[in-house]
Amino acid sequence: MRSDLDDIMAQRELDWIVGFGSSSGSTDLAYLAGGAAVGHVMALKRRGEPPHFVVGIMEREEARRAGLRFATPNDYGAAEIAKLAVPARERALRLRLAVLERHEVAGRVSFVGSGAIADSYATVRAILERRPAIEFVEEPSPSAIERARATKDARELERIRAVGEATEAVVLEVLRRLARDRVEGGVLVDASGAPRKIGDVKRWIAVGCLERGLDEHGETIFAPGREAGFPHSRGTDTDPVPAGKPIVFDIFPGERGGGYHFDMTRTIWIGEPSERTRACFAAVLEAFEAGRDACRPGALAREADAAASAVLERHGHPTRRRDPSIETGYIHSLGHGIGLAVHEYPALSARETNEDRLEPGMVFTIEPGLYYPDEEIGIRIEDTLWLDTEGVHTCNRLPYEPEALWALARGEGPERGRTR
């Protein structure tokens, strides 16, 4: 968490972290700015001191309201630099050099930010050439900021859980609308008899997110049948919603305007699925529970994936733990950290080289799945979890079983709520 960043910098012998780019385009800059919408910035984080920002004159009120330490380009001679008869890139570089000189940036420095790789590379290279007191540090992965972001404080967790509550409200509203339709000719149809299209569902999701203050960061997955058999297939808008086939519903929105995310998946079906589909679902749910229960403070993240893999292997399914080249079965890792980005540290992967450890304060997903596109089967179950000194807890409240979800959508199910 933020309070750990100075200690992490000390462990890595970092004197400074310097960033430039858009605060909305870089989760590292957004983290340093505490989520403030300060546009294109230059950020200076000296070990042991709060970050300092150079913000545009149009964003200075946002910076003030956020309580940031900041100045504007005018404080570093921007007006005079703008008069120089040199290319625009050189003027931008000279302004950055003026900022670095004023703040006496020297020693071991890590650079972060956003923008085109070519521009960023050219800028950092030029800074190193003209300011030899700076030693460029190529950080390991995760970087110091990414490592700090891995654990969340109480306020960050509160924001993630609020996104989760709104996300589950969207999911439940979509299921309620689908429950009003009927099956005819192997597909879902509306009251007029017209086929219900995947695109209709996607629009409901988009509107539901908008109404609840969420941004869809990437297209939500609502993928039936064969498409469900490919983990990142989104579902084809013009296709009808089929009956009797599994549908992977994976939604991962964030706070509107940039901020914290939530990630969850439920697999549903309409009508009666095949026995093979039910067997795959039961195996995935068992793997989910095994992986979740293996998440303990201090445990290696790979142990959770190994626990889930062992369950699926026992049921006769191929896993990447045994064969990394497989294209069907359990073909991805168990989960990932989540926060300002959908995918963050740690990685819950069974790779033997994965040394990530689970720590109190981490927020991450658990999402085992099985994928057999030629059988028109794809199953995934996913919750967002958080870890404290006592163990693992879920941020989700919706049930996992399709029948329980439909009962809840029709108003027949029990009140939502989980204790884990």
Tally the C-alpha atoms within 13 A of residue 6's C-alpha that lie toward its C-beta.
7
- Domain-ending residue, one of 121, 148, 175: 148
106: left (phi over 0), alpha (psi -120 to 50) or beta: beta
Per-residue pLDDT tens digits for 335-387: 999 999 999 999 999 999 999 999 999 999 999 999 999 999 999 999 999 99
Give the pair of three-digit tokens for residue 149: 């972001």
Same domain, 119 and 250: no
Query: Domain of 339: which CATH number?
Result: 3.90.230.10
Same domain, 143 and 155: no
Same domain, 92 and 202: no
**CA gap 50, 110 in Å, rounded:** 16
Give the pair of three-digit tokens for residue 197: 């299209």
Same domain, 214 and 81: no
Helix or strand run (H / E) with residue 183: strand 182-184
Q: Is residue 419 part of a domain?
A: no
Q: Is residue 420 part of a domain?
A: no
Give the pair of three-digit tokens for residue 258: 């940039």
Q: Is residue 417 part of a domain?
A: no
Same domain, 340 and 317: yes
Per-residue pLDDT tens digits for 92-141: 999 999 999 999 999 999 999 988 888 889 999 999 999 999 999 999 98
Helix or strand run (H / E) with residue 41: strand 40-46
Q: Is the pLDDT of residue 304 over 90?
A: yes
Q: Is residue 402 part of a domain?
A: yes
Same domain, 104 and 216: no
Same domain, 185 and 232: yes
Same domain, 91 and 192: no
Residue that the structure tokens 């956020």 belong to: 66
- Domain-ending residue, one of 148, 179, 202: 148
Same domain, 235 and 370: yes
- Domain-ending residue, one of 115, 148, 181: 148
Give the pair of three-digit tokens for residue 26: 């870089």
Same domain, 336 and 191: yes
Q: Is residue 345 part of a domain?
A: yes
**Is the pTM above the cut of 0.75?**
yes
Same domain, 241 and 107: no
Same domain, 16 and 99: yes
Query: Domain of 136: which CATH number?
Result: 3.40.350.10
The total number of structural domains in the chain stands at 2
Q: Is residue 327 part of a domain?
A: yes
Say if CB 177 and CB 200 are below 8 A apart: no
Q: Is residue 109 part of a domain?
A: yes
Domain encompassing residue 342: 151-410
Per-residue pLDDT tens digits for 182-237: 999 999 999 999 999 999 999 999 999 999 999 997 789 999 999 999 999 999 99
253: left (phi over 0), alpha (psi -120 to 50) or beta: beta
* pLDDT of amino acid 414: 64
For the chain, give the percent of residues with pLDDT over 70.
Answer: 98
Per-residue pLDDT tens digits for 141-177: 899 999 999 999 999 999 999 999 999 999 999 999 9
Q: Is residue 71 part of a domain?
A: yes
